[in-house]
Structure 1
């Protein structure tokens, strides 16, 4: 679950792909901050040439809008991680209703999830609750734990004024701003040995 503003039920819409215009039921939970439609539109325009067949990891999933948008646009699978049981239950219900069976929801916090043995993913969505300042710690766990494919893409969302200190081999590909949010897409390079 991320951020600081509330989202009312039914306010998140998938904007492209096979599930286009599907609505996600959003529980009324304090702190739930779905990624804005225009930000998702820009991100998935950037990813359009490469999204097909990707294995994805949606950390701090909240509504799951990022991961479900990836599935809608041709990703092979998405593993969702969400610590709030009510948000995870709503996410599961949305996945069942949308018949998105190539997804798995893990109810745990992202840090604990990343402590287990990693499986490499092609694309990771890193959009933790802004107030908790988790970017550096989670990025380090992703990099060290075997969670990233050799040339993985990593999407990072943060407050506009915050550029998280990320692993040096994560190279900025594109970035933008929307309101008080900074969003950026990184490409992993192999670490120097």
Structure 2
């Protein structure tokens, strides 16, 4: 796993073997950020990464100069890895939060310009995070929410669905607020 672009481009991220996360593939991540590069001004974005896993997506946003990145992960081993990796890279304005993403979304008082969620594909009820984010006041007006999921899910009939991007087995549903 590597950081695709930006300040930390090419830096390898080597999670320990005891991390059970399924990181977004470099191919899917690179394509996602090519799309995002045409949609958002990274330096003007406060970013929330839910179900952060290895922190791969968070590091990409930070590498591109995001104003702030909050990475939410419940697993203490994963959270500690994210925290240590961000410190090792010297990333500023990076906030690893050890919390249940569903509860965090309900209690967070901050708003974000971009929210990314990569819940485990086999997590029952993971799709509930879509309505929790979009209905919870976390996303700023004109903000963007990206939900990574398997081919089994379809959000095209959701009122705030904007577009689907597919990269192999990885699906990104984009939702726009406002």
TM-score by length of 2: 0.90
Name the structure 2 match of 1:128.
Answer: 119
Structure 2 stretches of 5 or more lacking a match? none
Question: 1:72-111 to 2 correspondence within 5 Å?
Answer: 72-111=63-102
Deviation per CA, 1:30-74: give whole Å up to 9, x if none.
641011011111111111132232100000000111111011112
Q: Secondary structure at the match of 1:22?
A: coil
Kept in 2, the 8 Å contact 1:136–1:165? The answer is no
Question: 1:129-168 to 2 correspondence within 5 Å?
Answer: 129-164=120-155, 167-168=158-159
Name the structure 2 match of 1:176.
Answer: 166
Is residue 2:71 matched to residue 1:67? no
Q: CA deviation at 1:22?
A: 1.1
Q: CA deviation at 1:27?
A: 2.6
Q: Secondary structure at the match of 2:106?
A: coil
Structure 1 stretches of 5 or more lacking a match? 1-11
Could you list the runs of 4 or more consecutive aligned residues of structure 1 that deviate by over 6 angstroms after TM superposition? none
Q: Secondary structure at the match of 2:141?
A: strand
Q: Secondary structure at the match of 2:43?
A: coil
CA-based RMSD: 1.8
Name the structure 1 match of 2:105.
Answer: 114
Change (3 A) 1:46 1:165: closer
Deviation per CA, 1:77-106: give whole Å up to 9, x if none.
110100100000010010001111211011
Name the structure 2 match of 1:23.
Answer: 12
Name the structure 2 match of 1:47.
Answer: 36
Kept in 1, the 8 Å contact 2:48–2:116? The answer is yes
Structure 2 Cα separation of the partners of residues 117 and 44 of structure 1: 26
Deviation per CA, 1:111-139: give whole Å up to 9, x if none.
11112143111111111011113443212
Q: CA deviation at 1:166?
A: 7.6
Structure 2 Cα separation of the partners of residues 95 and 120 of structure 1: 22
Q: Tell me the matched-pair count.
A: 176
TM-score by length of 1: 0.84
